[in-house]
A = this chain, B = another copy of it.
Amino acid sequence: MNVAVDAMGGDHAPQVAVQGAVQAVSELDMDITLVGNRDTVEKELALHLSTGRISICHCEETVRMDEQPLKAVRQKRDASINIAFDLVKKGKVDAVVSAGNSGATLASGVVTLGRLQGIERPAIASVFPSDGGYVVLIDVGANVDCRPIHLFKFGVMAHAFARSCLGMKNPSIGLLSIGQEGTKGNELVRMTRRLFEESPLNFIGNVEGRDIFSGNVEIIVCDGFVGNVALKLSEGMAEAMTRLLKAEFEDSLSGRAALLMGRRSFKSFRRKLNYEEYGGAPLLGINGVGIVCHGGSSASAIKNAVKLAYEYVNNGLLEKMNEQLNQLRINNEQI
C-alpha cells in the first residue's frame, strides 16, 4: 500500500505533512509518497530518521487556500494535488491525503479520476464519534449551493460508506433542519424530504443540530455550507469548552487539587474532543480514495488521516461503494 500525501497543502506545509508521514510509516506497514517541491521536502525529511518507505514526487506548484478550486485545478496541472491524484490514476499509489484547499482536492479528484456511476456531486463526509458509535455528517464543505437531488445522493453515498466502512447494517438517515416537523425547514429541505421518503433508505425524517450529538441518528444530510459551519462550530466549541473548564478549575484551590487528581480523566476528555484524533474526512463519490484534512492539521492529524486512507483501501471502500450504489439503483430509479 502506498498513500500520496500532498506535502504542500495546509497552513503548516510542508513540516506537518512530512512529520505525519514519518509517524504513519513507523506505525503501519505501508509506503508514502510525498508530493511537493523536492528541495523543500527533502530538507524537512532530512530532520527525521530515514526508513526507506517515504519517497518524494516533485512538483512545482500548489493551489493556495484562497484560489477558486476548479479554475486553479484546471490551470495548474503541475500542482501538488493534481500530481497526487495522477499517481492514483497511474496505479502508483492507492489513495490521496491533503490538508490543502479542500475544494481543490475535490475538484482535482473529480477531474483526474472521475465520479462513481450515478453521482453528479461528490461530497465530503465527516465522521463524528457518538455514544458507542459514529455519526456521519455529509456534506461538510464540498457543495455550497445544492439542489434536492444532490442532498438525496449525499444520503445514498453515506449509506454506502457507512455499510462499507463503519459496520452499520441499515443506517438511519436524517435531514438536517430546524424542527422535526415536515413543514419546517427551508425550501431545499422540504423538497429533499420527499425524495428520501420515496426511497428504500432508512429515512427517519428531519433532525436538528443537536442530533449530531444525541445518538438518535447515524447519518445526517445537509448542504456543504451548513455542514461546514456545523463542523467548524463544533471544533471551536470543543476548544472553547476545554479552555472554560480549565479556567473554572484553576479558579479555586479545591478546583486546582481536583485538576491535579483527575488529570488522566481530563486528558482523556480532551482527547475525545480533539478533532485531530479523528484524522480527515473522506471524499465520497470520486472514483478513488481521497481524504481531506483540516487546513490547520497537526502532524498527528495527518498521520491519522493516512491511517484512515489505509483502512479504507484495505476495506475495499471503492468496490463496496460501487456495489452498494448498484444495489440501491435496482430498487430506486432516482439513484
Contact = CB atoms under 8 A, between A and B. Distances in A.
Contact of A262 (B65, B179, B224, B258): B258
Is chain A's binding surface mostly helix, strand, loop or mixed?
A: helix
A236 to B, nearest CB: 3
Interface string A182-216: 01111101000000000000000000111111100
Given A178-B225, A230-B229, A236 B252 contact: no
Contact of A181 (B66, B213, B222): B66
A185 B145 CA distance: 9
Contact of A213 (B178, B240, B249, B254): B240
Contacts of A244: 269, 272-273
B144 A185 contact: yes
Count chain B CB atoms within 10 A of each CB in A189, A237, A269 and give the residue with the most. A237
B224 A178 contact: yes
B262 A249 contact: yes
Contact of A237 (B187, B212, B252, B261): B212
A252 B265 CA distance: 8
A51 interface: no
Interface in A87-133: none
A228 interface: yes
Given A262-B258, A273-B241, A229 B232 contact: no
A291 to B, nearest CB: 19
A238 interface: yes
Nearest to A255: B265
B141 A178 contact: yes
A245 B232 CA distance: 21
A220 B249 CA distance: 30
Given A209-B236, A254-B264, A248 B269 contact: yes
Interface string A50-82: 000000000000000111100000000000000
A293 to B, nearest CB: 15
A178 B144 contact: yes
A41 B259 CA distance: 47
A214 B186 contact: no
A185 B225 contact: yes
A212 B262 CA distance: 29
8 closest A-B pairs (Cβ-Cβ)?
Answer: A210-B236, A258-B262, A209-B233, A209-B232, A213-B240, A255-B265, A178-B228, A144-B186
6 contacts: A65-B179, A144-B187, A210-B233, A211-B236, A212-B236, A257-B262
Given A209-B236, A254-B265, A258-B265, 17 more contacts: A178-B224, A189-B225, A208-B229, A210-B235, A211-B236, A212-B233, A212-B236, A214-B240, A226-B226, A226-B229, A229-B230, A230-B230, A233-B234, A248-B265, A249-B262, A249-B265, A258-B261
